[in-house]
Structure 1
Amino acid sequence: MASLFASSGDGLASRLGLSPWVLYSAAGFTAYALLCSSLRFQRLRTMRKRLNYPDRESLSRMTNEDAQKIVSYISLYEFPLLYDFSLRFAIFKTYAVDNIGNLLYKVSDLARPAKASKRYDDTQVLFASYAEFPPGSEYLAKSIARTNFLHAPYRQSGKISNEDMLYVLFESMYQPIRFMRLYEWREMADMEVAAIATFWKYIGEMMEIDYEAELGKKEWKDGIDFLEDVERWAIGYENEHLGPSPDIAKLGQVLVDLLLSAYPKFSREPGYKILMVLMGERMRDAFSFPEPGVPESALTYPLLLARKLFLRYLCLPRFYPATFISQPDPVTGRIQHYHWLKDPWYSPSSFWSRWGPEGLMRRAFGLKVAGDGGAAMLPDGFLFEDVGPQDKMGKGVDETARLARVAQTKVSASACPFALPRKG
């Protein structure tokens, strides 16, 4: 049989005027590409079958627990790089909102270059905690409670409004879906879109966002319906609140400088131009950033397309999850952080992290490695009372504990938030 196949291949190659090895290589490449593409969709098929969400109608019975499981596999297995980047992008965009950006520039460590690194990573570990810990869990409640504690003075004084909170929630839902549709190897399926919306809906409930006050309703048929309703509302909110101001421009420059400083010097200028392209005109105008040239756009989009095709057809799916934070230490409760930006906040120091391939590469480019900064970086990990401005580290322990108890009462893991009551 093998000799028959070989002779057939040789004959076809001869008729085409090609070397047989060219034909065999092309066949092998095609088979590998088809294998990669098939395996990359296997996890989606398995998740859909296991959780039993085969169609749009079934999404109305999605539970909070299932939504968190789906978001976890999206962020840790399917799209870890761009999912993480899209959330960072979403939060950055909210800083262009007049109320939020102007307030942050006046009061937040994010606007202080020497302190911005910690506050940036604090936001990242909180968002990672939302996805890592399931609804009803102690540590999800603690992460939400710390967020609520830090926001409380500004919400109580009216400096942060309910609609501001809802807009941040919207961007956190919308940008990952948008980024996957435009730039990833596949767009999200309806089940995944519904899960992201369901996930953020219960996070918003734990943050005491009043949906009815802004949307005029409190019932939706599924997560997609909820997302679409919030999106329609967000268009009007952006038209009213997204715009330039001197303080927002200064805040944006501090944060872009922080982002670029985490990468080698040779990559910062092209990285800046690519970032300007990804922002789009409206976001650039809000931060008063310059418009990128045609060459930058001509480079950015083909690179993203090449990445998309490479992942889809030439990369096998991940066999191990990406790791952003650890599980809490069973004795101390501390959580370690592995995806820091510039300074190794909450990141454990080990021989491998300092002298392994990544550590050596970072050293070669003049970047920091885990362990730099010593005990000040809290290498044993963080407790949630460590999260926040440096003048609030270790403060609000009792109030955060009280808020955690309140947050746990807001959401049930097994609840179907879009299951409407039956009419009698």
Structure 2
Amino acid sequence: MGISTYAWGINASTPIITSPPSWISAIQLPPTATSWASYAAVGIVGYVSLCSALRFTRIKRLKRKLGFTDRASLSRMTIEEAQAIAKHAMYYEFPIFYDLSLRFALLKTYAVKNVAKTLVSVSDLAKTEQAPKRYLLLLFAQFRPHDDEFLKAVARMNFLHAPYIKSGKILNEDLLYVLWASMAEPVRFMRLYEWRALTDMEHAAVGALWKHIGDLMGIDYEVELGRNTWADGIEFMDHVTAWASAYEDKYMHPYPEVRKLGEVLMDLLLTSYPKFARPMTHQISLVLTGDRMRHAFGFPEPGVAITQFTYTLLLGRMLAMRFLSLPRFFPVSNLSEPDPKTGRMYHYQYMKEPWYNPPTWKARWGLEAWFFWIFGGILPGDKGAALKPEGFLFTDIGPKYRMGKGSEEIAKAGHLGKLRAADESPFTVIKKA
């Protein structure tokens, strides 16, 4: 027998209530899944909008501050302004890929005939155990053009080149090509792989800074390019780029010396990673090297699958940086300021061996250090004094047999600062020493 309506206190003739009492309506029910999805969508859109807005704030502010609002204004850019703009790009906007582009620029110069022959015959770059320390040569964004350190860096580079220039092993055209690679690769890398390309102001600044460095190196532009004046850094870089293409046609081929360097440098790259990651790293490196350099170094062509995978990774990073990452609020520097007492500088980033890295607590116990240690990497301090953890002087840079030499040239570096004033354009005719 069923339960009677009387037992519930309800008469059979009483109508059933179809709407809840007012006290039930007053209760706030939890949001539905649809509501949460709406909130999440609004939050994501807001965060992406915030990232997009802030991403461009710093470069817009710098452009307004310096007044480089159009192409015509770039012709008045001074060497001090050019260096400041390049430093901003390297330290705030693109620290990882800017540094990588300079390393790649060095790699590109090793693939040409005269440079490779000279390096194999006299340099440590053909020796796996010495090659890592040479990644310190292109750090001109660290110092202002009239700082002692900037001038000493140029003086050291001139000292290392001088014997080979005198003997005819390094030609004026070789120096110009090295200069071109150093300024063109950052522009190319940012355009292809970063979250945005360089602005015209940044593009012009990189060209202008390296034009000034080329002047201090004594490069004769007129011999190679037929002129020595340009309106701005963009015009200069475009002119040298057209010339560099013909230079590569002539000299970037699989000579024995080039292939020898390719073997050493690829080994250096691969042994910087854990064994399980080396096959993939090798294939990705072949993709980024490009057809012409692969041919010169004797590297095989990568397959379609790894090529697609590599560019998918790069595209994913690009989109994440552009839409999901807030801009850096602090600069990223791989080089310390000179020690006030010793003048030595530390280098904080390394691939295989920690040359000039101080054995600080972070360097030996931080998250990155644990990663290196787990996969068998070398930490700062592991090899004692062999990798110079006390830092470096400019006289330390170069082949082992020339370390400690050239102090007189370094001491005279100040004369380079007299060739052009800080507030001059790099495209004014340089004064004779």
Q: How does 1:184-333 map to 2 (within 5 A)?
A: 184-333=194-343
Quick check: 1:143–1:384 contact (8 Å CA) kept in 2? yes
Is 2:369 the partner of 1:359? yes
1:312-348, CA deviations, whole angstroms, 9 ceiling, x for partnerless residues?
A: 0000011111121101111111111101221111111
1:209 & 1:260 partners in 2: Cα distance?
Answer: 35
Q: Does the alignment pair 1:26 with 2:37?
A: no
1:88 aligns with 2:107: no
Code of the residue aligned with 2:184 in structure 1: it is Y
Structure 1 SS opposite 2:145: coil
The residue matched to 1:132 in structure 2 has which SS?
Answer: coil
SS in 2 for 1:34: helix
Tell me, in whole angstroms, the C-alpha distance in 1 between the residues paired with 2:428 and 2:145.
17
Where does residue 3 of structure 2 map in the other structure? Answer: none
Question: 1:396 and 2:406 equivalent?
Answer: yes
1:140 corresponds to 2:150: yes
With 249-258 and 109-118 compared, the bigger mean Cα shift is at 109-118
Distance 1:399 1:298 in 2: 49
Residue number among 336, 347, 351 corresponding to 2:357 in the alignment: 347
Distance in 2, matches of 1:388 and 1:163, equals: 21
Say whether 1:380 aligns with 2:390: yes
Which amino acid is the alignment partner of residue 314 of structure 1? Answer: L
Q: Identify the match of residue 136 of structure 2 among 121, 125, 132.
A: 125
Tell me, in whole angstroms, the C-alpha distance in 2 between the residues paired with 1:286 and 1:269.
21
Q: Is the 1:63–1:414 Cα contact (8 Å) retained in structure 2?
A: yes
Contact 1:112 1:254 in 2 (8 A): yes
Task: Compute the TM-score of the two structures, normalised by the length of structure 1.
Answer: 0.91
Q: Any conservation in 1 of the 2:347–2:391 contact (CA below 8 Å)?
A: yes
1:323 and 1:369 map into 2 onto residues whose CA distance is: 19
Which 4+ runs in 1 deviate beyond 3 A? none
Q: C-alpha distance in 2, partners of 1:65/1:291?
A: 43
Q: Contact 1:71/1:131 (CA < 8 Å) preserved in 2?
A: yes
Q: Match for residue 86 of structure 2?
A: 71
Give, as a single letter, the amino acid of the residue that structure 2 aligns with 1:191.
M
Is residue 2:68 matched to residue 1:36? no
Residue 28 of structure 2 is matched in structure 1 by: none
The 2-side partners of 1:66 and 1:385 are apart by: 28
Provide the C-alpha distance between the structure 1 equivalents of 2:84 and 2:76, rounded to a whole number of angstroms.
Answer: 15
Secondary structure of 2:196 counterpart: coil
Counterpart in 1 of 2:23? none
* CA distance in 2: counterparts of 1:244 and 1:116, whole angstroms: 21
Q: Distance in 1 between matches of 2:289 and 2:351?
A: 20
3-state SS, counterpart of residue 139 of structure 1: helix
Deviations 1:263-300 (A, max 9, x none): 22222111110110111111100111000011111100
1:80-130 CA-partner distances (Å, limit 9, x unpaired): 111111111111011111111122122211101222222x3xxx32312x1
Contact 2:187 2:198 in 1 (8 A): yes
Match of 1:182 in 2: 192
Match of 1:114 in 2: 129
Gaps of 5+ in 2: 1-30
- TM-score, normalized by length of structure 2? 0.90
Can you give the 5+ residue segments of structure 1 that lack an aligned partner in the other structure? 1-12
Higher RCO (C-alpha 8 Å, min separation 6): 1
Partner of 1:5: none
* Maintained 8 Å contact 1:221/1:419: no
| Alpha-carbon offset, residue 419 of structure 1 | 6.2
User: In structure 1, what residue type is equivalent to 2:424?
Assistant: A
Picking from 46, 65, 68, the partner of 2:61 is 46
Structure that is richer in helix per residue: 1
Checking the alignment, whether the CA contact within 8 Å between 1:136 and 1:411 is kept in structure 2 is no
Larger Rg: 2
Q: Which segment drifts farther, 356-365 or 183-192?
A: 356-365
- Taking the aligned partners of 1:239 and 1:148, their CA distance within structure 2 comes to 27
Aligned length: 399
CA contact (8 A) 1:39 1:316 kept: yes
> Which one of 393, 417, 428 corresponds to residue 408 of structure 1?
417
In structure 1, what is the equivalent of residue 114 of structure 2? 99
User: What's the offset of the Cα at 1:143?
Assistant: 0.7
Query: How far did residue 351 of structure 1 move?
Result: 2.2
1:95–1:163 CA distance, 2 compared to 1 (3 A) = same
CA distance in 2, matches of 1:73, 1:194: 14
Instruction: Supply the AA of the counterpart residue of 2:330.
Output: Y
Give me the whole-angstrom Cα distance separating, in 1, the residues matched to 2:235 and 2:131.
37
Deviations 1:51-96 (A, max 9, x none): 1111101000000000000000101110011111111111101111
Partners of 1:61 and 1:419 within 8 A in 2? no
